[in-house]
Structure 1
Amino acid sequence: MSASTPLSVSDVIARRKAAGSGAFIGYLPVGFPDLATSIDAAVALAENGADVLELGVPYSDPVMDGLVIQRATQQALSNGFRLRDVFTAVEAIRSRVDIPVLVMTYWNPVLQFGVDRFADALVSAGGSGLITPDITPDSALDWIATSERTGLDRVFLAAPSSTDARLRETVAATRGFVYAVSTMGITGLRTDLDAAARTLVDRLREAGSSTTCVGIGISNADQVSRVLEYADGAIVGTALVKALGDGGVRELARTTSSLTSGTSLV
């Protein structure tokens, strides 16, 4: 696989579905607790059952992130994180594991870097696409055009509050999977997933989505399993970031192995 040919996230998820399983998508911020360890941590996710990696870009105004992830990204920024570190990390990870790597980023850093420049650098590093939590398809025309040129996936978010028209627009613009936000709050551990997630996934299917993954609030294997009863993938962030912060890569690997045990549906 050439680094200039992005791995297809939807193909990876489809293979998991065909095998009678659901996909596990693991989030970690680049540069936490430092750049080298964040690379080792992402590789550990892949080696312990993650199907897709979601690498977060540390940002000074993370409107969607809960306290655990905010603290981690602030540490990365304090340690001197620079946007180019994202491409360094993606390239290093892809040299060690054959797994799609999506970059989760607020839109302002991409704009400041240059949309085409960012996309070309991501392709060169072997990345698969972007998750963009703070832009909607109607405000992302430059990114949609650039992703068409480069073949990168573009993952937009859908919330329980989204109108049917907005869901149809999101589905039409998305490539990879639609990111269904399970609650209306910020990221974090929750003992009970919002029942609105199941309804949202149903609404997205009615809007034409073939691949929908659910994130925010998933923190154990049982919740992963329950989400995969109705969704195509489960996205976990806070539980993984907490494990890495508390016990390093070894604890992260153990937590990932535990969580991904919930992906088997047979």
Structure 2
Amino acid sequence: MTTLQQAIEATTRAHDKAFIPYIMAGDGGLDTIKQQILFLQQHGATAIEVGIPFSDPVADGPTIQAAGLRALEEGANLRTILAEIASFKDEVHIPLVVMTYLNPIIRYGIEAFVDAAEAANIKGLIIPDMPLEEADLVTDALAGKDIALVQLISLTSPAARIEKLAAAAQGFIYAVTVNGITGTRDGFDEALHDHLRALKRIATIPVLAGFGISTREHVEAMNRSVDGVIVGSAIVKAFHEQRLDDIEVLLKAPANQ
């Protein structure tokens, strides 16, 4: 069992729900990465998803796209971000999950990237534009490493596809709650909860919901059906606007549900 899965299951065994906040690494400068990660760790995050800025982020909504552009303008990239995280890794006691598109990994060099990720104590990897059929691009390099390759499962995936993705998933299953890009939404209908509960029935590892979850009410609603949530745009926006109290409110939402 991977460290990432262990951390999530330890949270759920304590009758809590997992909460994984997303940050855009380098938004505001490389030195903000440590500040944000340690803040989120201090306030109870189960793990942290570390977004890597990319010039063509097909899965990202406007808030995260804008944050990525700011990070790129600050000189942040996959190499500098991993080096920065490695510099304070001994202060991090929860799993970090890198979310990056495939192109930056290929440009870095797959083996070199995995080595750098391991050196930074990264415990999970999400590649949203890499289909399952191409996963062998990275799985050989990941073999024997404690880096979980997380799979995203969309609302529109056929049942047979969902079963294949669920079987291949490591760490947790990332259940996408909307058809489209990341960002905030007004709410979620009961059909979504039916989908999430069906996914939970076939999953052998934790299921977390993400995309469009931006308020305490969203977190509480999603946690009726899954093991926890990933919150991105709301966290990124709050950090950018220095509204740390808003982040604390979100982090407290999953407790004892």
Q: Shorter-chain TM-score: what band?
A: over 0.9
Q: Is the 8 A contact 1:136 1:170 kept in 2?
A: no
Question: Are 2:1 and 1:10 aligned?
Answer: no
Q: Which stretches in structure 2 are left out of the alignment for 5+ residues? A: none
**Corresponding residue number in structure 2 for 1:55:** 50
**Pairing of 1:173-188 with structure 2 (within 5 A):** 173-188=168-183
CA contact (8 A) 2:213 2:230 kept: yes
Correspondence 1:259 to 2:247:
no
Query: Does structure 1 retain, via aligned residues, the 8 Å contact 2:2–2:170?
Result: no
2:66 counterpart of 1:71 = yes
1:29 corresponds, among 24, 29, 48, to 24
Shift of 1:199: 2.8
* Equivalent runs, 1:63-212 vs 2, <5 Å: 63-212=58-207
Which whole-Å CA distance do the structure 1 matches of 2:251 and 2:79 have between them?
A: 30
Conserved 8 A contact 2:95-2:123: yes
CA distance 1:141–1:263, shift in 2 (3 Å): same
Quick one: structure 1 residues 166 and 246, their matched pair in 2 at CA, closer, same or farther if it must change by over 3 Å? Answer: same
- Secondary structure of the structure 1 residue equivalent to 2:144: helix
Q: Does 1:230 align with 2:221?
A: no
In the alignment, is the contact (CA less than 8 A) between 2:2 and 2:146 conserved in 1? no
> Aligned partner of 1:261: which letter?
K
Alignment: residue pair count: 257
TM-score, length-scaled by structure 1: 0.91
Give the deviation of 1:196 after TM superposition: 4.3
What letter is aligned with 1:257?
Answer: E
Q: Work out the CA distance in 2 between the residues paired with 1:29 and 1:185.
A: 19
Further displaced range: 254-263 or 144-153: 144-153
- Asked if 2 retains the 8 angstrom alpha-carbon contact of 1:66 and 1:188, the reply is yes
Amino acid across the alignment from 2:240: G
Percent sequence identity over matched residues?
A: 33
Letter in 2 for 1:55: V
CA distance in 2, matches of 1:91, 1:229: 36
1-structure distance, mates of 2:204, 2:176: 15
Q: Take 1:121 and 1:232, find their aligned partners in 2: how far apart are those partners?
A: 30
User: What is the aligned-residue RMSD (CA, Å)?
Assistant: 1.7
Q: 1:205 to 1:100 in 2, by over 3 A?
A: same
What is the SS of the residue equivalent to 1:263? coil
CA contact 1:171–1:178 (8 Å) conserved in 2? yes
The question of whether the paired residues in 2 share the 8 Å contact of 1:24 and 1:234 is answered with yes
The alpha-carbon distance between structure 1 residues 117 and 186, as it changes in their structure 2 partners (threshold 3 A), is same
Change in CA separation of 1:232 and 1:66 when aligned onto 2, cut-off 3 Å: same
Q: Which whole-Å CA distance do the structure 2 matches of 1:83 and 1:155 have between them?
A: 18
Please list the CA deviations of residues 214-263 of structure 1 after superposition, one character each: whole Å capped at 9, or x if unmatched.
Answer: 0011112222122112111110010011111112xxx23x2221012211
Cα distance, 1:204 vs structure 2: 2.1
Q: Is the 8 A contact 1:43 1:93 kept in 2?
A: no
State TM-score, norm by structure 2.
0.94
Farther off after superposition, 163-172 or 6-15: 6-15
